[in-house]
Amino acid sequence: MRKTLVRSFVLLAIAACGGAEQGDDGSGDALRVALLTSGPVSDAGWNAAGYEGLMLLEDSLGAEVSHQQTRTPAEYDEAFLAYGSSGYDLVFAHGFEYQDAALRAGARFPEMTIVVSGGGRIAENVVPLIFRLEQASYLAGMVAATLSESGVVGMVGGVEIPPVQGTFRAFEAGALAVDPDVRVLESFIGNWDDVAAAKEAAVAQLGRGADVLIHNVDAASFGVFQAVREVVEAGGTAWALGMNSDQNHVAPDVIVGSAVIRVPRAFLETARRWRAGALGGAPIYTGTEEQVVDFVFNPALADEIPADLRAAVEGAREDIRSGELEVPRVPFVEGEDVGEPGASTP
């Protein structure tokens, strides 16, 4: 009974979502696109970027759009069922955690294509969208080691899943490339949105001597930034680094730069590929070469960034794009070899 009521509510909510009346080709048949996030789109990071991507599809392609926040596997299945039953064309399931539910839904609704951000499992209508964020976090590691006065930097993660592990291994490699003696601390809080837990983990790392911190969480990032800000307010020296989105504006006094995914650009190109019939059965990889992934310095702290550090980051970025610099990565896509992504790109 409860599931029936939930399903009915979700279907009504989806039906109530307005959208454009025609596609960008003027056909009168609007593309119907949905987004699933496991956390709030107010996180100024991963989920917010996904929502910006959804809005870009509405604006640029005239798509009819809908968003659902789903926190549990049961809610994942309910949302996929609702969208499949309502005839949605394309669902962006924004997170590694959706991959199993996506496969179940893909088998039930073969006419619906599901794109799983950071997913690792593939079907004809279930497509992993892999952001090579490790390329930007490697650059962030270079920045961290260069700016650190203590020789200790830290990483605060959410859930210990392969995409997060990949960004941290690359961050560590980038730091070690600058300073072979740098010490890198690592901790996971077990979820994405617990601000207090992230702050506690950050405070612990700062207490162990870290003076530059990066995160890979969602809304919990606010806790990391607050911990760093309190060190500065007390007269100490510490820096933070943003992740997943350009977070430089979130705490512009302490965030020296961000490892950025331009999710809206990737979503738009992916949707265009779907319209062209060129999407399905293979993962999509996108990174610095497509200018979807990058490290962005905070312009508000421009005076704090040495010119030689900017030059070093730019040089490493170009080496990554050309393939001269291979950034460490954690493979997690079915059939993938670490050195051979076998990738199509948006």
Angstrom distance (rounded) from CA 24 to CA 61: 5
Give the pLDDT band (50/70/90) at residue 49: very high
Percentage of the chain lying above the pLDDT 90 cut: 87
* Full set of structural domains in the chain with CATH: 2-132+263-286 (3.40.50.2300), 133-261+290-322 (3.40.50.2300)
Residue with tokens 């950071």: 118
The β-bridge relationship of strands 239-244 and 212-216 is parallel
CA distances from 340 to 121, 226, 313, 330 (A): 17, 39, 24, 12
pLDDT of residue 167 exceeding 90: yes
What is the DSSP secondary structure assignment for residue 175, as one 8-state letter?
H
Give the pLDDT band (50/70/90) at residue 10: very low
Nearest one of 301, 213, 305 to 259, comparing CA atoms: 213
pLDDT in tens, 54-82: 999 999 999 999 999 999 999 999 999 99
**Average per-residue pLDDT in the chain?**
91
What is the mean pLDDT of the segment spanning 238-244?
Answer: 98
Instruction: Note the pLDDT of residue 346.
Output: 56
Angstrom distance (rounded) from CA 206 to CA 245: 23
Instruction: Note the pLDDT of residue 19.
Output: 38
Angstrom distance (rounded) from CA 200 to CA 92: 33
Q: Are 256 and 143 spatial neighbours (Cβ–Cβ below 8 Å)?
A: yes
CA distances from 130 to 50, 77, 116, 247, 346 (A): 14, 22, 8, 21, 10
Residues in contact with 236: Cβ distance below 8 Å, sequence separation at least 6, in sequence order: 211
What is the DSSP secondary structure assignment for residue 123, as one 8-state letter?
B
CA distances from 181 to 141, 176, 206 (A): 13, 7, 18
List the structure tokens of 243: 């992740």
